[in-house]
Amino acid sequence: MFASMLESMPGAIQLGLLYACMSLGVYITYRILDFPDLTVDGSFTTGAAIAAVMITHGYSPWLSTACAFVGGAAAGALTGLLHTKGKINALLSGIIMMIALYSINLRISKLPNLPLIKYETVFTHISPWLLMPIFVIVVKLLLDAFFQTDLGLSLRATGDNARMIRSFGAHTDNTKIIGVSLSNGLVALSGAFVAQEQGYSDQSMGIGMIVIGLAAVIIGEAIFGRRTVFWATLSAIVGMIIYRVVIALALRVPGFKPTDLKVITAVIVIFALVIPTAQRAIRQKRLARRRSAELAAALTGSSAGGDR
Amino acid sequence: MLELANVTKLFFPGSPDEKVALSGIHLSLKPGDFMTVIGSNGAGKSTLMNIISGVLTPDFGEVKINGVPVQQLPEYKRSRWIGRVFQDPMAGTAPNMTIEENMAIAYMRGKRRGLIFGVTRSKRHFFREQLERLNLGLEDRLKAKVGQLSGRERQALSLLMATFTQPQILLLDEHTAALDPARAELVTRLTEQIVREMKLTTLMVTHNMEQALRLGNRLIMMDKGRIILNVDEQRKPELTVDKLLREFEQISGHKLADDRVVLG
């Protein structure tokens, strides 16, 4: 069993890199904009479908991948519009887009399943082992830089204190739309890579993506924290790799079936969400108790010596 | 500079809870005027600030800045001319961003935000110079997150961020009310200094009568959505807290009811 677990590692790490752009996208909405965006489940498939259709029609795989990004970004912009201009609740606007995309994705790909085995993909000439790490790092560094620009700062402030950034003249509708759009562009990009690597695009490949993205972001934060954007984006990437490794290991445990994947993911996310909150509460309580003991000691006066 | 003509605002119009928040407000500030605003609970002071800044749009009447009607412009467009400090020290800054990032956001007030780095070497130098004016040592903590600052430090930073780009109008909405008296006094002194140095046209809501009399060259008193007393430059220096309270009772026919009022 142990040997087979080790064997599954490289595949898991590679999957983590293929999905890393998706967790970066989820990080933008979930952490930076404070906008729980469920469009992800749809836009991931949108990216895969656009790339697959274009590749099977003879377009360059790189152009197809770029168009996947644009398609995802358009879907995200629509979610942003629903939320800001239509005043629909954030969760609900994501769900509406996700459902709409289910049909739209079928329109794009015509078939529920498009094989890419016989076609040239971005991985035909460059191994995913070379391409993905470079690509993911470049995207990460570009994002880090973007979030230090005036526009990027206003996006971060939108999630941090919307009232404040409005009083300094940024239109928070626009910053939200830009952020959700960028996020879904990255998610679709990830979908395009996954489809090309696994050799097909599938109508149902996006189901549960948002939860996987959340799992990655939260796992990463538990390890690296999110002191700065630099660490936060790094933790979203590493979090995705760790998530894939954990899943690969879990599936090797006798008794688990591949169909258990989603419930394992759900349990990981639940733990990753509950544990930090519980830890913080315990730490706060301990700190309060220690401080009140100190204050009480100070009050009883100098006769006791007062070691503080 | 700032003119309000016949401004009226209703809350919950047509419902049993309908409330006239502002009714027929006329107000005119000249460049450099510093007006303090006092009044009882629910007098419409905060509504007045929100109407000027564009958070609310008036149901009737006109708001003009430099002679241009702005009442239909949303807040983010008006903020080009208006700097604002809120009562809540948490409201004016972004807690998870650093001091220099917050300063960079304030620096871009009313400008188009593009893909240029928010904090560059020359801007950092400028931010440091500005922060030195606060005498709080914040200039040495540029990379600290604002959430780690104390309430007073955050409010002083908010004040600086609202003013260092020289807005035409400064709105202060009880910006010292959430601080303890000693700290409130420091922020008040800082306010006085900044307004004087930059000659800002200022409107300040306060619950502190003594502060309302000490600061500024003009004073208005509000009650039930109206301005019931408008004290001009000549009369303001002669006012005392007693006179002010008596005047309020005479005009409004009831005592000044404000559970937070500080007589000074």
Q: How far apart are CA A73 and CA B237, in angstroms?
A: 61
DSSP B82-137: EEEE-SSTTTTS-TTSBHHHHHHHHHTTTSPP-SSBSS-HHHHHHHHHHHHTTTSS
Q: What is the pLDDT of residues B231-258, one digit of tens each?
A: 888 888 888 888 888 888 888 777 776 6
For testing contact with chain A, the best of B82, B84, B96 (most A CBs within 10 A): B96
CA distance, residue A17 to nearest chain B CA (Å): 27
Q: Is the pLDDT of residue B121 over 80?
A: yes
| Structure token pair of residue B23 | 């009714």
CA distance, residue B190 to nearest chain A CA (Å): 21
Q: Identify the helix (H) or strand (E) that includes residue B64.
A: strand B60-65
Q: Is A153–B97 a contact, with Cβ atoms under 8 angstroms apart?
A: yes
Q: Is the pLDDT of residue B110 over 80?
A: yes
Nearest chain B residue to A142 by CA distance is B115
Q: What is the pLDDT of residues A150-195, one digit of tens each?
A: 999 999 999 999 999 999 999 999 999 999 999 999 999 999 999 9
Q: What is the pLDDT of residues B76-95, one digit of tens each?
A: 999 999 999 998 988 999 99
Q: What is the pLDDT of residues B42-69, one digit of tens each?
A: 889 999 999 999 999 999 999 999 999 9
| Residue A161 contacts B where some CB pair is shorter than 8 Å | yes
CA distance, residue A205 to nearest chain B CA (Å): 34
For testing contact with chain B, the best of A167, A171, A173, A227 (most B CBs within 10 A): A167
Mean pLDDT by runs of 10 across the 308 residues of chain A is: 78 95 97 95 97 96 97 98 96 96 95 93 93 96 97 96 94 96 98 96 94 92 87 96 92 86 86 84 91 86 49
CA distance, residue B191 to nearest chain A CA (Å): 19
Of A145, A148, A168, the CB nearest to B79: A168
pTM of the model: 0.90
Quote the crossing angle between the two packed helices A40-56 and A61-84, to the nearest 10°. Answer: 150
Nearest chain B residue to A162 by CA distance is B94
| Structure token pair of residue B155 | 């409010």
Q: Identify the helix (H) or strand (E) that includes residue A271.
A: helix A261-299
Cα dihedral B45, B48, B52, B53 in deg (nearest 10): 60
Nearest chain A residue to B86 by CA distance is A164
* Amino acid present at B107: Y
Q: What is the pLDDT of residues A223-240, one digit of tens each?
A: 888 889 999 999 999 999
From residue A174, alpha-carbon distances to A33, A66, A151, A161, B113 in Å are 12, 23, 10, 15, 11
ipTM at complex level: 0.89
From residue B174, alpha-carbon distances to A270, B93, B149, B165, B211 in Å are 42, 16, 20, 21, 11
| Residue A153 contacts B where some CB pair is shorter than 8 Å | yes
Q: How many CB atoms lie within 10 A of CB B97?
A: 24
The SS3 call for residue A57 is coil
From residue B116, alpha-carbon distances to A127, A147, A164, B113 in Å are 35, 10, 21, 8
**For residue A306, what pLDDT is reported?**
44
Q: Tell me which chain B residues have a C-beta less than 8 angstroms from the C-beta of A148.
A: 117-119
Q: Is the pLDDT of residue B263 over 70?
A: no
Residue in the block written with tokens 């890419």: A116
CA distance, residue B12 to nearest chain A CA (Å): 19
Instruction: Show the CA angle centred on residue A119, arms to residues A117 and A120, nearest 5°.
Output: 120
